[in-house]
Chains A and B, each alone.
Chain A
């Protein structure tokens, strides 16, 4: 039984037939990808929604809300005044039509390795409900201790606001602030603290328009 074929490589085909073969292969492969995409799309959307609900929870310690998150989403195209120059997302939470809190998805710049996506829950009063790291590429074992699963560094933001600690003390201890540092990593916490502070300042001056703005779709409004 000889599986090795020698003939197939020696023919020298015309450019036309090569092109045709490539085009046919491209068509078949595209169809394959399209079918897979069609089959998986509903599940992927479902996962994303479940993941959203689940991932907003850590930024919302104890906040009760009764509205549909997807229907209260606000996507702000840059420039929006929030940290980062990617689109910022705001989920607004209401209880019996009264605004109770807002969750911001913003990008902290100035991390050690690339942008850090943060989830920042702010209660209507301006007090932080919680901060959660969605995505980062910080060094494993050092900067990645900002992750809730690796240390409780993020819990110190709970109940913090621009009044406590006062604005000028929003920094790690080494820089004369009130927040704990992470041993071996100071760049990462600085970036996170700055982004949280900027978000609080934004919320302070835009609170009413944030809650008044119409949900998704009309992303341009909002001063």
Chain B
């Protein structure tokens, strides 16, 4: 079980990361990552929805006939998203205002439907929950990384407005330089940042593969 859990986690965080490899859920990924706190907020919300929807789909998979599986997924995911929206409105009102429509649009994040279809509908509850958490965390990490990157480039600050998530006084964050590079916050900046992230991931993977190859070759000789 432990080895298997580890595989699930690795798959979600790296090998099949929804944001970097499957390239799913790009709409929120590109739209809200103007700041780190936005990325983190939406990332956590998505992770919650993904985990719960995986758990629910997996728990009821005996009743989900293949003819009605899509409406069932939609029903489950839409209800969960409505709940998380209400929870955000009640406990993180500022973050809710900042995320705006994109919180509700988690419904349309195909990463969630994809996991329900590919994984949760064929696996037991526990692995499904682990898969949902891993995939959600993978997605959230990409959101945070992009958010931090774009906030840093675009506004010259980092971790601004963390109070929206944790309460307390308005936090200005760490201001590193003034001005900033406007393009990074605009939509093209989102595409550039994502492209950089995907390229970076591929480069690391290739490098690793080469290392493995070298290692194997050395052991053979």
Where the two chains meet, the residues of A that have a C-beta atom closer than 8 Å to any C-beta of B are: 1, 3-5, 8-9, 11-13, 17-18, 21-22, 25-26, 29-30, 32-33, 36-37, 39-40, 43-44, 47-48, 51, 139-141
What B residues does A30 contact at CB under 8 A?
79
Closest chain-B Cβ to A16's Cβ sits at a distance in Å of: 12
Q: Which residue of A lies closest to B91 (CB)?
A: A43
Establish whether residues B91 and A26, one from each chain, have CB atoms under 8 Å apart when the complex forms. no
| Inter-chain residue pair count (beta carbon < 8 A) | 78
CB < 8 Å: which of B63, B66, B124 contacts A3?
B124
- Asked if B93 and A47 make an inter-chain contact with CB atoms under 8 angstroms apart, the answer reads yes
- Number of residues on chain B facing chain A (CB within 8 A): 34
Taken residue by residue from 79 to 92, chain B's Cβ proximity to chain A (1 for < 8 Å, 0 otherwise) reads as: 10011001101110
Instruction: Tell me which of A3, A17, A18, A33 contacts B82 (CB under 8 A).
Output: A33
Contacting residues, chain A, for B93 (C-beta < 8 A): 44, 47-48, 51
15 new A-B pairs (CB below 8 Å) besides A3-B122, A44-B89? A12-B67, A17-B65, A18-B68, A21-B72, A22-B72, A25-B76, A26-B75, A29-B78, A32-B83, A33-B82, A36-B83, A36-B87, A43-B90, A47-B93, A139-B186
Given A13-B67, A25-B76, A26-B75, check contact A5 B82 (CB 8 Å).
Answer: no
Q: Contacts A11-B65, A51-B93: A37 and B186 contacting too (C-beta < 8 A)?
A: no
Per the bound structure, the CA–CA distance linking A1 and B124 in Å amounts to: 11
What are 26 A-B pairs at a CB distance below 8 A?
Answer: A1-B1, A1-B4, A3-B123, A4-B123, A5-B122, A12-B65, A12-B67, A18-B68, A21-B72, A22-B68, A25-B60, A25-B63, A25-B72, A25-B75, A26-B75, A29-B79, A32-B83, A36-B83, A36-B86, A40-B86, A40-B90, A44-B86, A47-B89, A139-B186, A140-B34, A141-B154
